[in-house]
Structure 1
Amino acid sequence: MAIFAAEGKALLQRLDLLLWLLLTIGSFFVINFVLAQWLGQRLRLAYPEVVCLTCTTLARNSLVALALAVAAAVFNDRPLIALTLVIGPLLDLPIMALVTQILL
């Protein structure tokens, strides 16, 4: 929240960047969801195991926090780098909630 409060204007000035980020992050989740579902069926996993595989595959982005810390420290004169790293985790929870509803 602090990064958005401090550097939100920089992001609003580059709405094209925001669109590309959302497209990229959305593609990441869609491709991983489809691949996890396909792999689970291909391996003939039981449905609970397919759900576990899918959720684990989609939630494996904990390194983003480390990348955010490094980017904010190294590129402190370039706020868009930190902003781009913050957007992914902000979308992660709503997307995982949506995936959970789809899998139910």
Structure 2
Amino acid sequence: MLKRLKNADAALTPDMLERMRRLGRGMLGRDYDRQFRWSDTKLYCSEPVWKLYRRGAGVTLCKPQQFRDVNPARPVLAGEAARRYGKNMPPPGEPVVTPAALFDSPLLRTVREE
């Protein structure tokens, strides 16, 4: 499924789009952040999308959650979190933007389904 910002033609000015391009080029080549830290040193899948819209166009696609809110007590995910982080779990208040939160953003519309 492909989504776009609603009213993007009106909402995103040429200056905003150029700023987003510059910011995006600056993110190229960064390592993938398997620990989902909220930094610019490494980036995870949904983080650059959120940051490009926020920093480049002032659009907040979704409200960042806190790590404690997306680390459910499901055994499979709890096991993966323990394997991935060990004793270095992110702080419970660490901001995180999930792909699901972006997908569900009311600011986006579906332009293609496959």
Same fold (TM over 0.5): no
Larger fraction in helix? 1
Larger fraction in strand? 2
After TM superposition, the score normalised by the length of structure 2 is: 0.28
After TM superposition, the score normalised by the length of structure 1 is: 0.30
Higher relative contact order (CA 8 A, sep 6+): 2
